A and B are shown apart, each in its own frame.
Chain A
Amino acid sequence: MTTLAIHNGRVIDPALGRDGIADLVIVDGRISRVGPNEGDMVVEAERIDASGLVVAPGFVDLHVHLREPGFEYKETIASGTAAAARGGYTTVCAMPNTRPPLDSRAAVESVLREAEASARVRVLPIGCITSGRAGKELAPAGELAGAGVVALSDDGDAVADPSLMRHALEYSTRFGLPVAQHCEDPRLVRDGQMHEGWVATRLGLRGRPASAEETFVARDIALAELTGAHLHICHVSTAGSVALIRAARERGAHVTAEVTPHHLTLSHEEVAFGGSYAELTYDTNAKVNPPLREESDLEALIAALRDGVIDAVATDHAPHATIDKEIEFDLAAPGISGLETAFGLAMRLVHEGRLSLPTLVERLTVGPVRAWGLDRRHGLEGLGTLAPGALGDLVLLDPEADWTVDPERFASRGRNTPLAGRTLRGGVVATVFGGRLVHQTERAVAL
């Protein structure tokens, strides 16, 4: 019997409405007891002093790209999940745009096998909506469900054909899988490189209009209402999308949504000015799809996250190698390596008084779990909570810790972040997965 006792932390467990100083005891990989002085009752245990720290359920990310198989030079399941552990994540849902894409049982099983062998945290695979992500015919959702996928997505690309999308939604209802759509109409995006607006005009880069996202959000909501299916909107980025999702949810449509830390905090000015205005840049590390938008979009996204219209913060962790990014802006791969900066970046909203810490924790834990019903899956009961009996996945956080982003020290192979050199306030001190420490800093003091 192995026991881990975490003493005197501020335990925030949004699912149970708990927020207070308590001890937490994990026995054999599951939460055993939570409460004041509970740790003192345990005789033999590994002990961590969490005084001054927040103890929360391990974060759950609905949207990461682990790149394996096929793009191991960008990331592997081992390096990506190591990055997850450093970011406080104990569960990550892996997008299927690998090579081969996850559109068959064999491909999904190979990822699960590799995760079993090398992953630092839990990997839940997502299957393709269409075969080969080609947008032409449905991938075998039943076979994928049987192999263990938790959702369907062609992320990176939208399913553009409205009829095919309708059928994908309709068919998914048989297996209870959410259909996660990257909403951007490729015919409106064309070869757009960043948000269409004054910064794109300044830089002479072609724009991706907000309406490219909003028209697909509107279309897919209508299709979800037609079919009664569960539509999940990936990485919402515009105020217009927020309004559409809000209205759909008020009507009772089964629509859930996620937003990334970067879309919540960084605007399109990042591409040209890197936040400093000292020098004009073409920062390919700020190139991401959907693109960073305008201040007014950020406001709407924050409000939606606060009031629950957006269920989850998801990173869209998209690691790339230097050769994918240190090239002409038009040729650079879109995406941000986000797992290791997610908490610190999102904490900006807490420090600015725009979001409470318990709400942020909710959107990083039980929010995404409930959005996709992950805790209804066999073996994942209690995921995202610290209830006795739940999985021993938790994170120790120091909300006040200042640290400087140094991509060279990332566990991820993807060093692509627009935040290099910036100071974030809010750090992950330790991550516990299944009762075992999978990441810790010096701040995690053993007792």
Chain B
Amino acid sequence: MTTEITSRVAGSRRHNARTSESPRTDAWNHTDILDLDDFTREEIDTVLELADRMREILDRRIARVPALRGFTVVNLFYEPSTRTRASFELAGKVLGADVLSLSASTSSVQKGESLIDTVRTMRAMRADAIVIRHAMAGAPYLAAKHTDASIINAGDGAHAHPTQALLDLYTMRRHVGELAGKRVVMVGDIAHSRVARSDLWGLAAVGAEVVVCGPPTLLPRGLRAGDRPAHAESALPPVTIETDADRAIAGADVVMALRLQSERQEGGLLPSLHEYAQHYQVTAERLARAQPNHLLMHPGPKNEGIEISGAVAKGSHSIIEEQVTNGVAVRMALLYLLSGGKELPGEAAPAREEARR
């Protein structure tokens, strides 16, 4: 096995033939959104530019555009989620889609209710897009293999959360502009974080310099390029690994704290939450080492006092709440692109440069 693995392994998974008429969406080649590992820089730009237009719609007094009338979105959540689910629901509703949300407990999966069956049933009811949140990595890939409805991964185990990564990129870009060369530092439970994994792909695509930082027990194996065989060097995004939070945060343009789940302590990965907080909590003191105009982010839900101090979470560098708003805009853009959408009704197609801000 000597073929080089490119970071776009799944680039040609399924071609979308319906974009050619529209100049807005020409750099868009997805019928599913499973991870960002198969997104090109141009595709990411397309999403973020469109998200800008969606953000405008969202900020209107009456945020309603019938762009997705007749388009059916099913939220299939096998894991509890408040914000991601609400975000998709609102995104669909603002654009006039029919949105149905189902929570299937993981226990029903173990009782033998098959994911494939459920997805096929939803498709038979004419679902156009199925948004899947699942505790098990790869579940959306299984679904995508068995239906021609668009599958959107809303978080699968520790694997990926591509819509979160896109909203993170969008939020960063609104404040920072060009992200190439910017130092983005993620602090926390990297090993179990699907947000971190998808952010890594997205940030790599736009050329940011990424640092991940956490205790050695919460860093995944093989993330360091030197730990992989030569042919697999690009099989994971380039990243600097750091176990000392002070060193990691030094000079950061963006600092992202990741949620620490209390199971990690029970699983013997950490001596105590107290000790974790001492060494890895994102605090004002640590942020003093970052760039003066740094941004502070968190994918939520936060444990204030554990991975992030309450003061900085509410502080002037924090853009955590804006992430949530932008999440709706980005998901609107994604649903719209998956629907094969062209120009937004009642809108003149904006020039690209204008949309980019």
Supplied contacts A201-B220, A203-B137, A204-B157, 11 more A-B pairs, CB within 8 Å = A198-B223, A198-B235, A199-B235, A200-B221, A202-B236, A205-B137, A279-B9, A279-B13, A280-B34, A280-B141, A326-B116
What are 24 of the A-B contact pairs (CB < 8 Å)? A197-B221, A198-B221, A198-B235, A199-B222, A199-B235, A200-B222, A201-B220, A201-B236, A204-B157, A204-B158, A205-B157, A207-B221, A273-B5, A277-B9, A278-B9, A280-B35, A281-B141, A282-B138, A295-B229, A327-B116, A328-B136, A329-B137, A329-B138, A331-B110
Known: A202-B236, A329-B136, A330-B157. A295 touches B1 (CB 8 A): yes
Q: Does A206 sit at the interface, judged by CB under 8 A?
A: yes
Q: Does A269 sit at the interface, judged by CB under 8 A?
A: yes
Tell whether, in the assembled complex, residue B222 and residue A204 are in contact, meaning their CB atoms are under 8 Å apart. no
Instruction: Map CB proximity to A onto B31-49 as digits: 1 under 8 Å, 0 otherwise.
Output: 0001101100000000000
- Residue numbers of B with Cβ under 8 A of A are 1, 3, 5-6, 9-10, 12-13, 34-35, 37-38, 109-110, 114-116, 134, 136-139, 141-142, 156-160, 194, 197, 220-223, 227-229, 232, 235-236
| Nearest CB in chain B: distance from A443 CB, A | 31
Tell whether, in the assembled complex, residue A282 and residue B141 are in contact, meaning their CB atoms are under 8 Å apart. yes
How many residues of chain A get a CB closer than 8 Å to chain B's CBs?
31
Looking at B35, B115, B136, which has the most chain A CB atoms within 10 Å of its CB? B136
Question: For chain B, what secondary structure do more than half of its interface residues adopt (helix, strand, loop), or is it mixed?
Answer: loop
Q: Does A275 sit at the interface, judged by CB under 8 A?
A: yes
| Nearest CB in chain A: distance from B76 CB, A | 13
Tell whether, in the assembled complex, residue A328 and residue B222 are in contact, meaning their CB atoms are under 8 Å apart. no
Tell whether, in the assembled complex, residue A275 and residue B1 are in contact, meaning their CB atoms are under 8 Å apart. yes
Q: How far is the CA of A55 from the CA of B138 in the complex (A)?
A: 45
Q: How far is the CA of A204 from the CA of B37 in the complex (A)?
A: 13
Q: Which residues of A contact B6 (CB under 8 A)?
A: 277
Q: Which residues of B contact A330 (CB under 8 A)?
A: 136-137, 157
Q: How far is the CA of A279 from the CA of B159 in the complex (A)?
A: 16
Instruction: Map CB proximity to B onto A324-362 as digits: 1 under 8 Å, 0 otherwise.
Output: 001111110000000000000000000000000000000
Question: For chain A, what secondary structure do more than half of its interface residues adopt (helix, strand, loop), or is it mixed?
Answer: loop
Ranked nearest first, the 10 interchain pairs of A and B with the lowest CB-CB distance are: A198-B222, A204-B159, A282-B138, A204-B137, A204-B158, A201-B220, A330-B136, A328-B136, A329-B138, A198-B228
Tell whether, in the assembled complex, residue A282 and residue B236 are in contact, meaning their CB atoms are under 8 Å apart. no
Q: How far is the CA of A206 from the CA of B13 in the complex (A)?
A: 25
Within 8 A of B (CB), among A278-315: 278-282, 294-295
| Nearest CB in chain A: distance from B191 CB, A | 8
* CB nearest neighbor in A for B235: A202
Tell whether, in the assembled complex, residue B142 and residue A328 are in contact, meaning their CB atoms are under 8 Å apart. yes
Q: Which residues of A contact B3 (CB under 8 A)?
A: 277
Complex partner residue of A328 from B134, B220, B228, CB under 8 angstroms: B134
Q: Which residues of A contact B35 (CB under 8 A)?
A: 280
Q: Which residues of A contact B114 (CB under 8 A)?
A: 323, 327
Q: Which residues of A contact B37 (CB under 8 A)?
A: 280
Q: How far is the CA of A313 from the CA of B228 in the complex (A)?
A: 29
Q: How far is the CA of A225 from the CA of B136 in the complex (A)?
A: 42
* CB nearest neighbor in A for B190: A201
Q: Which residues of A contact B34 (CB under 8 A)?
A: 280
| Nearest CB in chain A: distance from B240 CB, A | 16
Q: Which residues of B contact A326 (CB under 8 A)?
A: 116, 142
- Residue numbers of A with Cβ under 8 A of B are 196-207, 267, 269, 273, 275, 277-282, 294-295, 323, 326-331
Complex partner residue of B139 from A197, A201, A328, CB under 8 angstroms: A328
Q: How far is the CA of A196 from the CA of B221 in the complex (A)?
A: 7
| Nearest CB in chain B: distance from A119 CB, A | 32
Q: Which residues of A contact B236 (CB under 8 A)?
A: 198, 201-202
Tell whether, in the assembled complex, residue A331 and residue B109 are in contact, meaning their CB atoms are under 8 Å apart. yes
Complex partner residue of A206 from B158, B227, B235, CB under 8 angstroms: B158
* CB nearest neighbor in B for A193: B137
Known: A198-B228, A203-B138. A280 touches B10 (CB 8 A): yes
Q: How far is the CA of A199 from the CA of B116 in the complex (A)?
A: 25
Q: Which residues of B contact A323 (CB under 8 A)?
A: 114
| Nearest CB in chain A: distance from B356 CB, A | 30
* CB nearest neighbor in B for A276: B3
Tell whether, in the assembled complex, residue B221 and residue A327 are in contact, meaning their CB atoms are under 8 Å apart. no
Q: How far is the CA of A398 from the CA of B176 in the complex (A)?
A: 66
| Nearest CB in chain B: distance from A274 CB, A | 11
* CB nearest neighbor in B for A282: B138
Q: How far is the CA of A267 from the CA of B223 in the complex (A)?
A: 18
Q: Which residues of A contact B229 (CB under 8 A)?
A: 294-295
